[in-house]
Structure 1
Amino acid sequence: MTKKWTVDDFPIGIYQLNDDQSVNFQMNRFFNWTNDKTMLHQMKGIETPQQTYPQIISAFKRLGQNALEEGNQLRAAMYLRAAEFYLPENNPSKKKLRDQFIELNNNFYGIDNAKHFLIPYSDGNISAYKVMSQNPQGTIVFVNGFDGYIEELSRMMLIFRDAGYNVIYFDGPGQGYMLENYHMPMTHQWEKPMKTVLDYFDIHSAIAIGMSLGGNLVLRAAAYEKRIKQVVCFDVLPDLFTCITHQLPEQIQQKIQKNKIIAVNKADINATLTALMRKSLMLQWVIHQGMTVLGADTPYDFIRKAMQYNTTKISPLVTQDVLLLAGQNDHYVPVDQLPLQISTLINAQSLTARIFTAEEYSSSHCQLGNIGLALTVILNWLKQTMIKQKKLKTFSPEI
């Protein structure tokens, strides 16, 4: 009998596994995708007094190999993905680990080749998956963010499927398959890959859900692609530049303001950020990953390109039903980004916002620690908006 996936298949709680805030978040992330409590004990043993990324990578590889020998596919998949997550783009082991992760993950969830599609786009292919509900209420098109592989989210996609939706989920430019196979950087003009996917599957009405930076990308897509009827920002991310500079020491934030990102300051900004990267594992990873994702040659170029990912100008073009999610203690996206996003969506058909709290174990980025609660909120909101739309269609005012 095929398992029916529900919101209860995600764990509840954020665990202290590593003293580095960013590494701790990522460890909790990979645990959340498995709900495998053995990983909590194993990952806590990784930390060393002077930990480095090579040391962390080596430890995850070892844990992944152990899980393989024990026959635990999903645990092995996530450990190998965790090791690959921290490898630089030019490391020859990166592709092998990525391929192992995808094979093990898809085998565990029963995602076979019949559910996988390569869609021509520009000089490469968009990698997309489609899972079908027996009695679909609609079609969800799910967009990933800054650093994920869409396969990581398989459990979430199957929960949406088993809640009654056909689900299409894909890696576009700057993500997963397109980034690794074609080195195609991300575009802020997300309506272009979204149109390609909707056209390919002949979708005339879609629910667009974007996770992390995807919360920025789906708003951009909805502004220009009206086949999207409902939009979910899971979480909000209206200004990528602000989210990046939020990670910097306050005195450096003053030095790297938007009006100072100009050519004459390039050498100084590069020197400042390079020095910071030597002191912080998080900034080291964020800036290297950002340069790869956005196709930038230097930290300055990455910061400058990040300024394109701002929803202020396009938000008035969004006329759909919109749900905004935010975490009270999100260390990547400050919670004050939520009112900023609300203030710009002046023409939305309807606008709903939800802040998640520490008391709910869901105040972190993308509600890590209680993803099941976030999915419950999304599914309830979808049900309510669909009921409202049906009433509007059948309403006939008296003349």
Structure 2
Amino acid sequence: MKRRFFENEQFDYEVRLALGSAYRQGGDVGEVLAAADRIVDGDAESWFATWVELARRVCDQAERSEAHGRQVTARDAYLRAAGYYATALVSIDATADPQRLGPVFGKHRHCFDRFAAGWDPPAEQVFIPYEGGSLPGYLFSPPGIAGALPIVIVNNGSDGPINAVWSLVGAGAVARGYRVLLFDGPGQQSMLFLHGVSFRPDWENVITPVVDFLHGRGDVDQERIALVGISQAGYWVPRALAFERRIAAAVADPGVLDVSTSWWQHLPGELRAVWESGEREAFDQYLREGLKGDPDGAATWAWRAKPYGIDSPFDLLTEIGRYTLAPVVDQITTPLLITDPEGESFWPGQSEQLYEALTGPKELVRFTEAEGADLHCEPLGRAVFEQRVFDWIDARLGSGGEVAAR
């Protein structure tokens, strides 16, 4: 899509995401465009302040509506406010005070909690047993349907907020009669910001406890569990499928065969040679010196590196090198739908590479600029995405009883 909102790549993409979320009431087109008009292109403080001010205003309105018993207005406003607070945080590492992340994240989660409580029926906050602790999540259900229902587990990516997985996948699934589980895994949102738990490449050790948890519930049809992965979960979902066999169907949006390529494509070739030589100190010095002269690049690096919990750039890229499906891709037997959006920026070409590498049931679905559904995770093509992805899931789970529009 040729129209741009900002020259800054991240700002431009985040505005597209915010606009796309309006399809499921996660944002308001007018609010988003008005906010974008007030932001100085590439200015992190302007970005942060504008979205926080909008989020605060919308949250205040939600509280007033709630106090007067206007539950639908309040619920929808809380969801928008949660999204705007989360959008503010994408620039936090480039601002003068990155420590504001904690308080703003708290406000974001407060708003999402109020939205979840206002859902009909209210979403259940759940705690999934995990390695002596728990993973926090939300279980959403369609209104007026009892008993054991098929369920869609939505697996977030590297840095997306919980409201985004609701707007991108969860809301559409509930509208089609599924229960939906949203959760924070290691390195994601609350697990990172509040507990300091980092990513891990062996995601089967995350999804298997999630499936165990669902198998212990009487309101879940254990034979009809779908798993949908967004962004970097295009790696995590197939990785989990190589070991966890109780998933009936899965989606990778997009397909990711090797996570590390999204890092190396932005680094000079001579730096790769230094890394391959094993010269750790030289590599770290070279990269850090380069980032000193590139504030935007340094902020992007800090934001993307945060979930791994590794300070040394050499060690970080060594760790990310473990995030590859090559050793296990031939073990995947679960039916897998892979999206392939035109203009994919993080992992170009990898959807098709993953599709070719799979030996089990598979389907590759393309999304194009001509239909307005291009770019990473199809930010503006949400109706097109839902139609293709959920029709595929419905066919494999024997589901698809849509419920009344909310």
Q: Give the AA of the match of 1:98.
A: F
Distance 1:220 1:79, change over 3 A: same
Distance 1:167 1:176, change over 3 A: same
The corresponding residue for 1:202 is 215
Matches within 5 A, 1:249-264: 252=268, 254-257=269-272, 261-262=275-276, 264=278
In 2, Cα distance between equivalents of 1:374 and 1:29: 14
1:354 Cα offset (Å) = 1.1
1:275 Cα offset (Å) = 4.2
Distance 1:81 1:15, change over 3 A: farther
1:131 Cα offset (Å) = 1.6
The corresponding residue for 1:221 is 240
**Structure 1 unpaired stretches of 5+:** 1-12, 389-399
1:199 Cα offset (Å) = 1.2
Post-superposition Cα deviations, 1:236-287, rounded to whole Å, max 9, x if no partner, equal 1211111222234xxx0x2244x75347332333234334434556633432
In 1, Cα distance between equivalents of 2:131 and 2:91: 28
Which residue, out of 183, 197, 215, partners 2:196?
183
1:137 Cα offset (Å) = 5.6
Contact 1:22 1:282 in 2 (8 A): no
In 2, Cα distance between equivalents of 1:37 and 1:14: 19
Post-superposition Cα deviations, 1:362-394, rounded to whole Å, max 9, x if no partner, equal 111011111221121111111233459xxxxxx
Distance 1:226 1:119, change over 3 A: same
Distance 1:228 1:113, change over 3 A: same
Tell me which moved more, 94-103 or 51-60: 51-60
If the length of structure 2 is used for normalisation, what is the TM-score?
0.82
In 2, Cα distance between equivalents of 1:166 and 1:145: 20
Distance 1:281 1:354, change over 3 A: farther
Which residue, out of 37, 43, 46, partners 2:35?
43
The corresponding residue for 1:25 is 13
Distance 1:15 1:66, change over 3 A: farther
Q: Give the AA of the match of 2:162.
A: I
Distance 1:97 1:160, change over 3 A: same
Tell me which moved more, 125-134 or 141-150: 125-134
In 2, Cα distance between equivalents of 1:279 and 1:16: 26
The corresponding residue for 1:354 is 365
SS of equivalent to 2:266: coil
In 1, Cα distance between equivalents of 2:159 and 2:344: 16
Q: CA RMSD in A?
A: 2.7
Say if 2:252 is the partner of 1:233.
yes
In 2, Cα distance between equivalents of 1:65 and 1:263: 50
Distance 1:382 1:74, change over 3 A: closer
Distance 1:202 1:382, change over 3 A: same
Contact 2:257 2:350 in 1 (8 A): yes
Distance 1:69 1:208, change over 3 A: closer
Distance 1:73 1:167, change over 3 A: closer
Q: Give the AA of the match of 2:367.
A: F
Which residue, out of 128, 131, 154, partners 1:142?
154
Contact 2:372 2:381 in 1 (8 A): yes
Say if 2:129 is the partner of 1:120.
yes
In 2, Cα distance between equivalents of 1:387 and 1:52: 49
Q: Give the AA of the match of 2:314.
A: Y
Say if 2:346 is the partner of 1:332.
yes
Identity %: 18
SS of equivalent to 1:373: helix
1:15 Cα offset (Å) = 5.5
The corresponding residue for 2:66 is none
SS of equivalent to 2:127: strand
Question: What is the aligned residue count?
Answer: 367
Contact 1:77 1:100 in 2 (8 A): yes
Q: Give the AA of the match of 1:330.
A: E
The corresponding residue for 2:111 is 104
**Structure 2 unpaired stretches of 5+:** 63-76, 217-221, 400-406
In 1, Cα distance between equivalents of 2:112 and 2:36: 23
Matches within 5 A, 1:1-399: 16-33=4-21, 34-48=26-40, 51-71=42-62, 72-88=77-93, 91-109=98-116, 110-111=118-119, 115-122=124-131, 124-133=133-142, 134=145, 138-155=150-167, 156-202=169-215, 204-205=222-223, 206-248=225-267, 252=268, 254-257=269-272, 261-262=275-276, 264-278=278-292, 280=294, 283-334=297-348, 336-346=349-359, 348=360, 350-386=361-397
The corresponding residue for 1:3 is none
1:352 Cα offset (Å) = 0.4
Contact 2:173 2:180 in 1 (8 A): yes
Post-superposition Cα deviations, 1:196-253, rounded to whole Å, max 9, x if no partner, equal 11112216442111000011101111100101121210111211111222234xxx0x
1:69 Cα offset (Å) = 4.5
Distance 1:223 1:183, change over 3 A: same
